[in-house]
Amino acid sequence: MSALFPRIAPLAVAAWLAGCSMMPAYERPPAPVPGDWPNAAAATGTAAAELDWQAFFADARLRQLIGIALRNNRDLRVAVLNIEQARAQYDIRRADRFPTVNAAASGSRTPASDGGTNKAYTAGLAVTAWEIDLFGRVASLGEAALAQYLGTEEGRKAAQVSLVASVANTWLALVADDELLALTRQTLATREESLRLTRLRFENGAASELDFRQSQSLFEGARVALAQQQRQRAQDLNALALLLGEPVPADLQAPVTMASLALPDLPAGMPSEVLARRPDVRQAEQQLIAANANIGAARAAFFPRISLTAGVGSASSQLSGLFQGGSWGWTAAPQLLLPIFDAGRNSAGLRSANVSRDIAVAQYEKAIQTAFREVADALAGRATLGEQLQAQGNVAEAEAVRFRLSELRYNNGVSSYLDLLDAQRSLFAARQALIQTRLAQLQNQVLLYRALGGGWSGATQ
């Protein structure tokens, strides 16, 4: 402590003159990311953070599902309860700055030297160990509790952002599941009919067993795909029910095509603006502010702590005379404690507070870097998925024409049955890929909305 005291003493004088606070001046760390987004194509429209989720998602069924989730989701409920708990902790710290006044009454009997009994009765108001916060220790703890409270508010917003995006993406996956199931059932029916005709031709000697087995393989492959997609739909439905906090209403499972869904384009904005408005980044910054305030409390622990115990009331040796005239009085007992030897406890506390702030800085910087990558990834998806979807649509169209031509050539004996089966297989795969690419594009738009800070500015229901 002797080596540290000369460095702390000037801080004590400055704190006395500047309002008795020993917290370091807070400065927001510079963002450790580039100043511009990669793949940031020009886009017009409302910024994501200012666009309510009700306006971003146009489908009425999806909006109802999100509303149910915001009312029932258990993770969001925990986030709201965390806010209440942090607010209570802040109120406790704020109450420490004011004296605690209690009504007090006592009575005692002790043996007297003359063989009798000494009696003493008191009643009145008492102030118990109120710390006079000359060096800002209590105020610093209050500032830390306030920052923790504000951080939980941002945490609730971050939880809502994540929930809105999760419900939307799970519902979109369910829509894609329905389209894939419809495609697979159609393909399965076609291949079943083809297998029936091939079996008849094989039994009558018009087709080889190779043709029959190839047709059977395609039919069984479609059955495999159907079972996989039924399982995937059931799992996506279970995931959506978990997000909603209740079973998915049957009327909200009505089929809808992804081609009919459209989401608005979003301007990326500047990284410095977007990242500063994301709830998770703001939560990390509040944690940093709290850690910074705790340093002030740790510094103040090196200096005198003054507390006051006082009382006002009546005292008497007889219970009947407790409230008679002349029995009233008051007491005041200030106490000053100056640390002399604490085996390095205060020094360790200050080191711990400084390290906690350094950890909070690293976590804040990581939150910014993570947010930047999420936006950059979503922008990369927006820059490429549109072209990929168009190209995949061309592939599916070309495979459909190829299948028709292969079927015509086979029926006229120009090409082999193997060519026809290969065309069937390629067409099925191309149509599946088209549905999956549409899903990827829509989900990427939702992720971009989330990454840019959208999803919490609207009403919760």
- pLDDT value of residue 65: 93
Q: Which residues contact 33 (CB under 8 A, 6 or more apart)?
A: 271, 275, 368, 369, 372
The count of domains in the chain is: 1
Range of the domain at 350: 5-105+118-451
Position 461 confidence tier, pLDDT thresholds 50, 70, 90:
very low
In a domain, 226, yes or no: yes
Concatenate the DSSP letters of all residues of 142-172 into one string.
Answer: HHHHHHHHHHHHHHHHHHHHHHHHHHHHHHH
Q: What order of strands is seen across the sheet that includes strand 117-132?
A: 101-111, 117-132, 305-316, 328-337
Would you say residue 459 lies in a domain? no
Please write the tens of the pLDDT for every residue from 73-113.
888 888 888 888 888 887 877 777 777 777 777 777 777 66
Distances (CA, A) of 156 to 201, 441, 456: 66, 28, 9
Residue 242 falls within a domain, yes or no? Answer: yes
177 alpha carbon, distance to own chain's centre: 27
Q: Is residue 457 domain-resident?
A: no
- Does some domain include residue 96? yes
Structure tokens at 272: 């410095």
pLDDT band at 257 (very low <50, low <70, confident <90, very high): confident
Q: How many whole angstroms separate alpha carbon 298 and alpha carbon 140?
A: 9
Write out the E strands in 289-340.
Answer: 305-316, 328-337
**Lowest pLDDT segment from 112-116, 220-224, 419-423:** 112-116
**Residue 460 belongs to a domain:** no
Specify if 184 maps to a domain: yes
**282 vs 155: CA distance, rounded Å:** 9
Residue 11 confidence (pLDDT) above 70? no
In the chain, the percentage of residues whose pLDDT exceeds 90 is 38
pLDDT of residue 320: 62
Asked whether residue 32 is assigned to any structural domain, the reply reads yes
pTM confidence score: 0.83
pLDDT at position 359, please? Answer: 94
Domain of 162, CATH number, reads 1.20.1600.10
- pLDDT at 4 (0 to 100): 44
